Chain A
Amino acid sequence: MYLGEAGSSSNRMKSVEEKNDEPIRKTLSALIVDDDALIRKVHLTILKSLGFVAQVASNGKEAVDVFRSGANFDIVFIDMDMPIMNGIETTKALRAMGVNCKIVAVTSRGTDVEMEDFVQAGVDFFHVKPLTVAKVIPFVERLQK
Protein backbone atom coordinates (compact mmCIF):
# COMPACT_ATOMS: atom_id res chain seq x y z
CA MET A 1 0.00 0.00 0.00
CA TYR A 2 1.41 3.36 -0.96
CA LEU A 3 0.68 6.75 0.61
CA GLY A 4 1.46 9.94 -1.30
CA GLU A 5 3.23 12.84 0.34
CA ALA A 6 1.30 16.05 -0.32
CA GLY A 7 3.33 18.74 -2.08
CA SER A 8 6.15 16.36 -2.90
CA SER A 9 8.05 17.33 -6.04
CA SER A 10 9.24 13.76 -6.39
CA ASN A 11 7.06 11.12 -7.99
CA ARG A 12 8.36 8.62 -5.49
CA MET A 13 5.80 7.71 -2.86
CA LYS A 14 6.78 6.34 0.51
CA SER A 15 5.41 2.98 1.42
CA VAL A 16 3.58 2.49 4.71
CA GLU A 17 6.51 0.32 5.78
CA GLU A 18 8.99 3.15 5.09
CA LYS A 19 6.79 5.64 6.94
CA ASN A 20 6.63 3.30 9.92
CA ASP A 21 10.45 3.12 9.98
CA GLU A 22 10.74 6.84 10.67
CA PRO A 23 11.59 7.40 14.33
CA ILE A 24 8.70 8.75 16.35
CA ARG A 25 9.82 11.91 18.02
CA LYS A 26 8.49 12.10 21.55
CA THR A 27 7.22 15.33 23.05
CA LEU A 28 9.88 16.62 25.40
CA SER A 29 9.05 18.34 28.69
CA ALA A 30 11.01 21.07 30.41
CA LEU A 31 10.98 23.07 33.62
CA ILE A 32 12.28 26.66 33.56
CA VAL A 33 13.43 27.97 36.92
CA ASP A 34 14.14 31.72 37.07
CA ASP A 35 12.95 34.55 39.31
CA ASP A 36 12.83 37.04 36.40
CA ALA A 37 9.49 37.14 34.54
CA LEU A 38 11.17 38.39 31.35
CA ILE A 39 13.61 35.48 31.32
CA ARG A 40 10.83 32.97 32.02
CA LYS A 41 8.80 34.37 29.10
CA VAL A 42 11.72 34.29 26.65
CA HIS A 43 12.88 30.83 27.67
CA LEU A 44 9.31 29.48 27.61
CA THR A 45 8.81 30.80 24.07
CA ILE A 46 12.13 29.37 22.89
CA LEU A 47 11.30 25.94 24.28
CA LYS A 48 7.73 25.95 22.91
CA SER A 49 9.07 26.91 19.47
CA LEU A 50 11.16 23.74 19.60
CA GLY A 51 8.18 21.58 20.52
CA PHE A 52 8.71 21.33 24.26
CA VAL A 53 5.85 21.23 26.73
CA ALA A 54 7.25 23.60 29.33
CA GLN A 55 6.42 24.74 32.83
CA VAL A 56 7.91 27.56 34.90
CA ALA A 57 8.95 28.04 38.53
CA SER A 58 9.98 31.43 39.91
CA ASN A 59 12.46 30.13 42.46
CA GLY A 60 14.24 27.00 43.59
CA LYS A 61 11.73 26.10 46.28
CA GLU A 62 8.89 26.16 43.75
CA ALA A 63 10.95 23.89 41.50
CA VAL A 64 11.51 21.40 44.32
CA ASP A 65 7.79 21.51 45.16
CA VAL A 66 6.89 20.80 41.53
CA PHE A 67 9.05 17.65 41.56
CA ARG A 68 7.71 16.66 44.98
CA SER A 69 4.17 16.83 43.57
CA GLY A 70 5.18 13.98 41.25
CA ALA A 71 5.94 15.91 38.07
CA ASN A 72 8.71 14.70 35.81
CA PHE A 73 10.63 16.51 33.11
CA ASP A 74 13.15 15.59 30.46
CA ILE A 75 15.22 18.68 31.22
CA VAL A 76 15.45 21.58 33.66
CA PHE A 77 16.86 25.02 32.80
CA ILE A 78 17.86 26.76 36.00
CA ASP A 79 19.18 30.20 36.95
CA MET A 80 21.73 30.79 39.70
CA ASP A 81 20.58 33.90 41.59
CA MET A 82 17.09 33.35 42.95
CA PRO A 83 15.43 34.14 46.28
CA ILE A 84 14.66 31.44 48.86
CA MET A 85 16.78 28.75 47.12
CA ASN A 86 19.43 29.61 44.55
CA GLY A 87 20.31 27.45 41.56
CA ILE A 88 23.08 25.52 43.25
CA GLU A 89 21.02 24.75 46.36
CA THR A 90 18.09 23.71 44.15
CA THR A 91 20.25 21.44 42.00
CA LYS A 92 21.66 19.75 45.12
CA ALA A 93 18.15 19.30 46.53
CA LEU A 94 16.78 17.84 43.27
CA ARG A 95 19.66 15.37 42.97
CA ALA A 96 19.22 14.37 46.62
CA MET A 97 15.55 13.66 45.85
CA GLY A 98 16.64 11.30 43.07
CA VAL A 99 15.82 13.62 40.16
CA ASN A 100 18.06 12.36 37.38
CA CYS A 101 16.91 14.35 34.34
CA LYS A 102 19.31 16.70 32.58
CA ILE A 103 19.82 19.98 34.45
CA VAL A 104 21.21 22.96 32.53
CA ALA A 105 22.44 26.00 34.43
CA VAL A 106 21.66 29.24 32.56
CA THR A 107 23.20 32.21 34.32
CA SER A 108 24.43 35.73 33.71
CA ARG A 109 27.72 35.28 35.50
CA GLY A 110 29.55 32.37 33.94
CA THR A 111 32.53 32.57 36.28
CA ASP A 112 34.77 29.54 36.71
CA VAL A 113 33.91 29.39 40.42
CA GLU A 114 30.20 29.37 39.71
CA MET A 115 30.54 26.72 37.02
CA GLU A 116 32.61 24.57 39.38
CA ASP A 117 30.01 24.94 42.17
CA PHE A 118 27.18 24.08 39.80
CA VAL A 119 28.96 20.99 38.49
CA GLN A 120 29.65 19.86 42.07
CA ALA A 121 25.95 20.29 42.82
CA GLY A 122 25.05 17.96 39.96
CA VAL A 123 24.32 20.16 36.95
CA ASP A 124 24.96 18.55 33.56
CA PHE A 125 25.54 21.58 31.35
CA PHE A 126 26.20 25.28 31.72
CA HIS A 127 25.16 28.18 29.50
CA VAL A 128 25.65 31.91 29.88
CA LYS A 129 22.48 33.96 29.28
CA PRO A 130 20.83 34.62 26.98
CA LEU A 131 19.43 31.22 26.08
CA THR A 132 18.85 30.91 22.33
CA VAL A 133 17.26 28.39 19.97
CA ALA A 134 20.74 27.40 18.78
CA LYS A 135 21.82 26.62 22.35
CA VAL A 136 18.76 24.42 22.99
CA ILE A 137 18.73 22.41 19.73
CA PRO A 138 21.63 20.10 20.76
CA PHE A 139 19.63 19.15 23.88
CA VAL A 140 16.60 18.30 21.74
CA GLU A 141 18.70 15.98 19.61
CA ARG A 142 20.38 14.40 22.64
CA LEU A 143 17.06 13.85 24.45
CA GLN A 144 15.40 12.32 21.39
CA LYS A 145 18.02 9.54 21.27
Chain B
Amino acid sequence: MDAVTQLQRQLVDYTNSLFLEGFLDDQFNQLQQLQDESNPDFVVEVVSLFFQDSERLLNELAKVLEQQNIDFKKVDAHVHQLKGSSSSIGAQRVQRVCITFRNCCEEKNIEGCLKYLQQLRHEYSLVKNKLETLFKLEQQLLAAGGTIPLY
Protein backbone atom coordinates (compact mmCIF):
# COMPACT_ATOMS: atom_id res chain seq x y z
CA MET B 1 0.00 0.00 0.00
CA ASP B 2 1.53 3.31 -0.99
CA ALA B 3 1.86 6.26 1.39
CA VAL B 4 -1.06 8.23 -0.09
CA THR B 5 -3.48 5.30 0.13
CA GLN B 6 -2.34 4.61 3.69
CA LEU B 7 -2.87 8.25 4.69
CA GLN B 8 -6.28 8.30 3.02
CA ARG B 9 -7.33 5.19 4.91
CA GLN B 10 -6.00 6.67 8.15
CA LEU B 11 -7.97 9.86 7.54
CA VAL B 12 -11.21 8.04 6.74
CA ASP B 13 -10.84 5.75 9.77
CA TYR B 14 -10.04 8.67 12.06
CA THR B 15 -12.94 10.74 10.78
CA ASN B 16 -15.33 7.79 11.20
CA SER B 17 -14.13 7.31 14.78
CA LEU B 18 -15.01 10.93 15.61
CA PHE B 19 -18.59 10.30 14.50
CA LEU B 20 -18.82 6.91 16.21
CA GLU B 21 -17.53 8.31 19.50
CA GLY B 22 -20.05 11.15 19.32
CA PHE B 23 -17.55 13.99 19.03
CA LEU B 24 -19.06 15.07 15.74
CA ASP B 25 -22.51 14.78 14.21
CA ASP B 26 -23.98 15.20 10.75
CA GLN B 27 -23.62 18.99 10.87
CA PHE B 28 -19.85 18.51 10.41
CA ASN B 29 -20.60 16.50 7.24
CA GLN B 30 -22.74 19.43 6.07
CA LEU B 31 -19.78 21.78 6.52
CA GLN B 32 -17.46 19.45 4.59
CA GLN B 33 -19.97 19.30 1.74
CA LEU B 34 -20.04 23.10 1.57
CA GLN B 35 -16.25 23.22 1.04
CA ASP B 36 -15.17 23.40 -2.59
CA GLU B 37 -12.48 24.90 -4.85
CA SER B 38 -13.95 28.39 -4.42
CA ASN B 39 -13.95 27.96 -0.64
CA PRO B 40 -11.12 25.46 0.02
CA ASP B 41 -10.48 26.38 3.68
CA PHE B 42 -14.08 26.77 4.74
CA VAL B 43 -14.11 24.00 7.36
CA VAL B 44 -10.81 25.07 8.95
CA GLU B 45 -12.00 28.70 9.04
CA VAL B 46 -15.32 27.83 10.67
CA VAL B 47 -13.68 25.51 13.20
CA SER B 48 -11.13 28.24 14.02
CA LEU B 49 -14.01 30.61 14.76
CA PHE B 50 -15.50 27.91 16.99
CA PHE B 51 -12.19 27.62 18.89
CA GLN B 52 -12.05 31.41 19.37
CA ASP B 53 -15.70 31.63 20.46
CA SER B 54 -15.39 28.70 22.85
CA GLU B 55 -12.24 29.92 24.57
CA ARG B 56 -13.71 33.37 25.07
CA LEU B 57 -16.99 31.98 26.40
CA LEU B 58 -15.32 29.48 28.73
CA ASN B 59 -13.21 32.30 30.21
CA GLU B 60 -16.31 34.49 30.59
CA LEU B 61 -18.17 31.66 32.29
CA ALA B 62 -15.34 31.11 34.77
CA LYS B 63 -15.32 34.85 35.61
CA VAL B 64 -19.07 35.06 36.13
CA LEU B 65 -19.14 31.92 38.28
CA GLU B 66 -16.36 33.31 40.50
CA GLN B 67 -18.53 36.26 41.54
CA GLN B 68 -20.12 36.47 44.98
CA ASN B 69 -23.54 37.11 43.49
CA ILE B 70 -23.72 35.01 40.39
CA ASP B 71 -25.67 36.48 37.50
CA PHE B 72 -27.31 33.30 36.23
CA LYS B 73 -28.81 35.12 33.27
CA LYS B 74 -25.31 35.96 32.10
CA VAL B 75 -24.17 32.38 32.66
CA ASP B 76 -27.16 31.16 30.66
CA ALA B 77 -26.50 33.63 27.85
CA HIS B 78 -22.87 32.44 27.48
CA VAL B 79 -23.86 28.76 27.55
CA HIS B 80 -26.63 29.46 25.07
CA GLN B 81 -24.12 31.06 22.70
CA LEU B 82 -21.73 28.13 23.05
CA LYS B 83 -24.60 25.74 22.37
CA GLY B 84 -25.35 27.62 19.16
CA SER B 85 -21.80 27.60 17.86
CA SER B 86 -21.11 23.98 18.86
CA SER B 87 -24.28 22.83 17.12
CA SER B 88 -23.31 24.81 14.01
CA ILE B 89 -20.07 22.89 13.59
CA GLY B 90 -21.43 19.54 14.76
CA ALA B 91 -19.53 19.39 18.07
CA GLN B 92 -22.18 17.11 19.51
CA ARG B 93 -20.70 16.30 22.92
CA VAL B 94 -20.04 19.97 23.67
CA GLN B 95 -23.58 20.83 22.61
CA ARG B 96 -25.04 18.13 24.90
CA VAL B 97 -23.16 19.43 27.94
CA CYS B 98 -24.47 22.93 27.15
CA ILE B 99 -28.04 21.64 27.25
CA THR B 100 -27.60 20.13 30.73
CA PHE B 101 -25.62 23.16 31.90
CA ARG B 102 -28.55 25.41 31.00
CA ASN B 103 -30.84 23.37 33.24
CA CYS B 104 -28.53 24.18 36.18
CA CYS B 105 -28.71 27.87 35.25
CA GLU B 106 -32.50 27.74 35.34
CA GLU B 107 -32.40 26.08 38.75
CA LYS B 108 -29.72 28.58 39.95
CA ASN B 109 -27.70 25.55 41.00
CA ILE B 110 -24.15 26.86 41.64
CA GLU B 111 -22.57 23.44 42.22
CA GLY B 112 -24.18 22.09 39.09
CA CYS B 113 -22.96 25.05 37.05
CA LEU B 114 -19.39 24.64 38.31
CA LYS B 115 -19.49 20.91 37.61
CA TYR B 116 -20.77 21.45 34.06
CA LEU B 117 -18.25 24.19 33.40
CA GLN B 118 -15.53 21.62 34.17
CA GLN B 119 -17.22 19.10 31.92
CA LEU B 120 -17.56 21.69 29.18
CA ARG B 121 -13.87 22.54 29.39
CA HIS B 122 -13.04 18.82 29.20
CA GLU B 123 -15.27 18.14 26.19
CA TYR B 124 -14.08 21.25 24.41
CA SER B 125 -10.44 20.29 24.97
CA LEU B 126 -11.11 16.78 23.62
CA VAL B 127 -12.90 17.94 20.46
CA LYS B 128 -10.28 20.62 19.85
CA ASN B 129 -7.50 18.01 19.94
CA LYS B 130 -9.49 15.67 17.73
CA LEU B 131 -10.17 18.34 15.12
CA GLU B 132 -6.58 19.56 15.14
CA THR B 133 -5.43 15.98 14.56
CA LEU B 134 -7.95 15.63 11.74
CA PHE B 135 -6.68 18.78 10.03
CA LYS B 136 -3.06 17.62 10.45
CA LEU B 137 -3.90 14.32 8.76
CA GLU B 138 -5.54 16.22 5.90
CA GLN B 139 -2.44 18.39 5.52
CA GLN B 140 -0.18 15.32 5.52
CA LEU B 141 -2.32 13.71 2.85
CA LEU B 142 -2.28 16.83 0.67
CA ALA B 143 1.50 17.21 1.16
CA ALA B 144 1.97 13.59 0.01
CA GLY B 145 0.09 14.46 -3.20
CA GLY B 146 -3.21 12.88 -2.23
CA THR B 147 -6.70 14.32 -2.27
CA ILE B 148 -9.12 14.47 0.62
CA PRO B 149 -11.80 11.81 0.13
CA LEU B 150 -15.44 12.85 -0.18
CA TYR B 151 -17.32 11.61 2.88
Which residues of A line the B interface, CB within 8 A? Answer: 36-39, 41-42, 45-46, 49, 81, 108-109, 129-130, 132-133
Q: How far is the CB of A136 from chain B (nearest CB, A)?
A: 11
- How far apart are the CA atoms of A130 and B53 in the complex, in Å? 16
Q: How far is the CB of B28 from chain A (nearest CB, A)?
A: 10
Q: B interface, by DSSP: helix, strand, loop or mixed?
A: helix
Which residues of B line the A interface, CB within 8 A? Answer: 27, 30-31, 33-34, 39, 42, 45-46, 49-50, 53, 77, 80-81, 83-85, 87-89
Complex interface: chain B residues within 8 A of A133 (CB): 30, 33-34
- How far apart are the CA atoms of A42 and B49 in the complex, in Å? 11
Complex interface: chain B residues within 8 A of A130 (CB): 27, 30, 87-88
Tell whether A132 pairs with B53 under 8 Å between CB atoms, given A38-B85, A38-B89, A81-B77: no
Complex interface: chain A residues within 8 A of B77 (CB): 81
Complex interface: chain B residues within 8 A of A37 (CB): 49, 53
Contact check, A108 vs B27: say whether CB atoms are below 8 A apart. Answer: no
* Residue among B31, B39, B50, B84 with max Cβ neighbours from chain A (10 Å): B84
Complex interface: chain B residues within 8 A of A36 (CB): 53, 81, 84-85
Given contact pairs A42-B31, A108-B81, A132-B30, a sample of 6 additional A-B residue pairs in the complex whose CB atoms are under 8 Å apart: A38-B53, A38-B85, A39-B84, A42-B89, A108-B84, A133-B33
List 26 interface pairs A-B (beta carbons < 8 Å), by A numbering.
Answer: A36-B53, A36-B84, A36-B85, A37-B53, A38-B46, A38-B85, A38-B89, A39-B88, A41-B46, A41-B49, A42-B31, A42-B34, A42-B89, A45-B39, A46-B34, A81-B77, A81-B80, A108-B80, A108-B84, A130-B30, A130-B87, A130-B88, A132-B30, A133-B30, A133-B33, A133-B34
